[in-house]
Chains A and B, each alone.
Chain A
Amino acid sequence: MARLEFQDVHRSFGAVRALTGVSFAVEAGEAHAIVGENGAGKSTLLKILAGITRPDRGEVRLGGATLTHASPRDALAAGIGMVFQERLAFPNLSVAANVFAGREMTRAGGRLDDAAMRAKTRDLLADLHVNVSPDRLLEHVSAANAQLVQIARALAFDCRVLVLDEPTTSLTDAEVDHLFRILNRLKARGVTIVFVSHRLPEVFRLCDRITVLRDGGFVGTYETATTTQDAVVRAMVGREPPARLGRGAIAIDAPPVLSVRSLARAPWFRDITLEVRPGEVVGIFGLVGAGRTELLETIFGVARPDRGEVIVAGRPVTLRSARDAIRAGLALVPEDRQRFGLHFNLSIADNIALTRAARGGLGRIDRRGEAARAASLVAALAIKTPSIARAPDTLSGGNQQKTVAAKCLAVEPQVLLLDEPTKGVDVGAKFEIHKLIRERAAAGMACLVVSSDLPEVLALTDRILVMREGVLRGELRAETATEDDVMQLAAHQSETAAEVVA
């Protein structure tokens, strides 16, 4: 049987000790979660499983045999299928080609056997209840189905262990349900599932046991049935979970610093009207695809609205670029920090200075002033780095996110727009980012936060605007709202639509 054992696994990258002697076992046929804060060593463990890196010391055994694979290809041959967080697939190839990429079925003489691959893919997808043609290009397949295609790939090679890294980050609730049904079926067939996720409710729903890593070390393995989420969080952070944040007093009668009137941009959203007052944190909640990111980008000037106006501090503004928006007093913490937020070829100090400097001209850089400002922001936001002269690629996800926030705060905006500010960051950093937002709000900044994390929206904001299919469907006071209230507004229409289709 495919019992997966980690025995005293060590791995260092330069001075960084990513894994410091991790030992635990995943029983054959169970669903086993690996959780931990960013930097706990989960990614390194997965890379070892996938054959991307090898341990410095220690070994990994599958069904009693030591794994010596040196590449993802070997890992697949050994029966380990990986479903990665990023879409490590070929958008320009068909679904069938993706399933068999690198290990194509061939006829005698080496010609590709397209018919056989297509038929096998169709069977696998039917088995997973995925209604996608094997001939469809992967770029035209939804994120959820692309993930299922990766699972199909693993199954095509009869994998005994299926490893999933944060598979639910970009899925809707219905898609998560579908995925979990499939995983449970595979488990019943004897496939061992290794599940890595930040989302503890999902971990508790799916997995039999949970292994917690912290700072590269093994903390413990817990039976899901006999432990609680709080206990797992305590094990992950090594301290008591933080208390809920207090809210500051908002001057209700102060004039709004940001007003959006009848803003529309086809096909994303229409007729959006909202106001944010100084000191207020307003949340926009909605399911993926509700048009929230597009709304923030339009307010921030990187996309043009078809209609409607944006008023900052009482003055209507026409924003044609991010530069205009920053000059008008706005700042945006974008959802995808690596693509839209950070420059990995520049130092942390340069990154933080860039937005503020771009507001000015092209003249001489005030290195001293910039270094002082960057150092004070790094201290204020508790960004953990040995030096601000380093590039941000050495930072953990949470610290990268705080660096993007620092970059925005350096321009001292009147309105701070945040798009999924805690996506993919660990519990500790999440709390610090929440604290930061509340502190800035208390100091008079207006904050507009887009998030799909419902507990976050309830804990962090003063008012919640619920967006569904490009329209604001309602407004709730965060203090009195429940998760049910918000979900009713966010999901109602889609459910009835689904019924009609069914």
Chain B
Amino acid sequence: MKSIWRAREFSTVAILVAEVLFFTWFLWPEAGRSHPFMNVGNVLLIFKYSSIYGIAAIGAAIVIISGGVDLSPGAVIALTTVVVGYLFVEVGWPLWMCAGAGLLVGVGAGLAASWLVVRVGLPPFIATLGVMGIWRGTAFIITEARFYDLSAKLPRDWHVMGASIDWLGPAVMIALAIVFQILMTQYQWGRSVSAVGGNEMAALFSGIRVGTIKTSAYVVSGVLAAASGVVLAVVQGQGKADLASGYELDIIASAVVGGASLVGGRGSVAGAVLGALIFGVLRNALPQIHGATFYDRFIVGAVVIVIVVMDQLLTKRAS
């Protein structure tokens, strides 16, 4: 019997817990002062920022498991904020319709990438690199160096069902992580994605619709990146072409740290979200350490390598 959780995800949880404990200890305040890291406000902040690339990392993990790679989520996030901002601010659509239109951007982005990969036969890296440039460019063409200020038309100190709007990202991330974790481990669709990523020819000979499965993976990735974009537009109150710059690497790194193998066939949705949180904690805590401000990129890069090497050593020992 295979459960929803696998051993690999526990080691990602362990890394996250160890990291949190370390910073809690390291940043322990002098008597009488509140803890700068371990407090409700800061935890919400970590969740809020992690969720933007955490949501997209779910889709990126699925594409990686299917044997591909998606470099376009950062650009899709930016384009979505612009589309949502334009429709909300300039056209005056209600917010829910703007959000729906934003998600359609993701569907389109996923279909375009999968068309290039499945029909045209481009390598996923090249296809999504090209598409990334096109979407980012489209966002700049639409905005022409302006940006859409949604916050002016959104309620101040907005609460939904008693919770601050800041919780929107974390809530969406956790809900989607649960849904896709179940889809990937308990449903035929998820197993087909793993089968295609593990051995495409064998999948074809087993009667799996390889093209359809790959297309579904890119569409899911596009839609989830768009969902990140909608959340960002609402929470940050901006539609801007240069948002989420460089996020594609954080997104892929989250998936990889969470156990995804770029060879395909291996990885975990829950792991990708945990990976996003691991980076979120680092990004949040490092600047609080005196003198470590400029080391944050360096340390994040080193952490990716260390975690993946540890993972490989553990897998080698297990086999």
Contacts and interface: CB of A to CB of B under 8 A. Distances in A.
Contact of A332 (B189, B191, B205): B205
A340 B203 CA distance: 8
Contact of A362 (B189, B201, B204, B207): B189
Contact of B1 (A327, A350, A367): A367
B207 A322 contact: yes
Interface string A321-350: 111011100001010000111111111001
A357 B191 contact: yes
Given A323-B207, A345-B266, A367-B2, A339 B202 contact: yes
Contact of B205 (A334, A344, A345, A371): A334
Contact of A364 (B186, B195, B201, B203): B186
B197 interface: yes
A358 interface: yes
A326 B204 CA distance: 11
A14 interface: yes
Contact of A322 (B186, B199, B204): B204
A389 B192 CA distance: 17
A323 B207 CA distance: 4
B308 to A, nearest CB: 17
Interface in A282-308: 302
Contact size class for A? 35 or more
B198 A354 contact: no
Contact of B201 (A340, A357, A363): A340
A361 interface: yes
A345 B200 CA distance: 12
Interface size class of B (residues with CB under 8 A): 20 to 34
B34 interface: no
A350 B319 CA distance: 19
Contacts of B319: 14
A342 B204 CA distance: 11
Interface in A345-381: 345-347, 350, 354-355, 357-365, 367-368, 371
Interface in B83-132: none
Given A343-B265, A389-B2, A358 B187 contact: no
B209 interface: yes
A407 B206 contact: yes
Q: Which of A339, A345, A367, A368 has the most CB of B within 10 A?
A: A345
Contacts of A340: 201-202, 205
A358 B265 CA distance: 17
A332 B205 CA distance: 8
A131 to B, nearest CB: 34
A327 B206 CA distance: 11
A362 B203 contact: no
Nearest to B188: A362
B202 A341 contact: yes
A364 B187 contact: yes
B75 to A, nearest CB: 29
Contacts of A323: 207-209
A345 B187 contact: no
Contacts of A302: 204-205
Contacts of B201: 339-340
Interface in B195-232: 195, 197-199, 201-209
Contact of B203 (A332, A343, A344, A359): A343
15 contacts: A302-B204, A332-B205, A339-B202, A343-B194, A343-B265, A346-B195, A350-B195, A354-B208, A355-B206, A357-B188, A358-B192, A363-B188, A364-B188, A365-B187, A365-B188
Interface of B: 1-2, 186-189, 191-192, 194-195, 197-199, 201-209, 264-266, 319
Q: Which 10 A-B pairs have the closest CB atoms?
A: A345-B265, A345-B198, A323-B207, A362-B189, A358-B207, A326-B207, A343-B198, A355-B206, A358-B208, A354-B206
